[in-house]
Amino acid sequence: MKNMNDIQFGEGTFDELYGHKIIELKENFIRTEIEITSNLHQPMGLVHGGLYSSMAEAAISYAAYFTQDGTWVGVNNNTDFLKSSKEGLLVCTASPLKLGKRSQLWEAKIYNGDNLCAISKVRLSNLNA
């Protein structure tokens, strides 16, 4: 497993653009955060649905990249929106449901405080398999 000290999404990436930060990364687990700002809203003043999908996609892709053998790319992102948010801190935790050599399935849950805002499954395919 690669060294995961101080891993971040990297300068100039989409994750930097929307303020996505990695808080904790270890084998089969990642936790990331986004501080909600108004430029992450849709016009009704709520967090844009795509932000939850993006957060889950990135968190899971990073976790697989750094903790799994192989070169993993997302092939499907299925996100359910459970509760809307206006402000505060979004906290995403993700872990695997199925770790195969060719295909993996991970699940992310995104909370704002005690509220479960979104739940997402991301399927990854191994380009090296």
What does the binding site for its own copies look like in residue numbers (CB under 8 A)? 9-10, 12-18, 38-43, 48-51, 53-58, 61, 73-84, 97-98, 100, 102-103, 105, 116, 119, 121, 123, 125-126, 129
Q: Which is nearer to its own copies, 23 or 45 (CB)?
A: 45
User: Residue 70 — left, alpha, or beta (φ > 0 → left; ψ -120 to 50 → alpha)?
Assistant: left
Q: How far is the CB of 127 from its own copies (least distance, A)?
A: 8
Q: Which is nearer to its own copies, 56 or 63 (CB)?
A: 56
Of 82, 66, 2, the C-alpha closest to 30 is 66
Q: Which is nearer to its own copies, 26 or 98 (CB)?
A: 98
Cα distance between residue 35 and residue 96, in whole Å: 25
Q: How far is the CB of 126 from its own copies (least distance, A)?
A: 7
Cα of 46 vs its chain's centroid, Å: 19
Q: How far is the CB of 65 from its own copies (least distance, A)?
A: 9
Cα distance between residue 93 and residue 60, in whole Å: 9
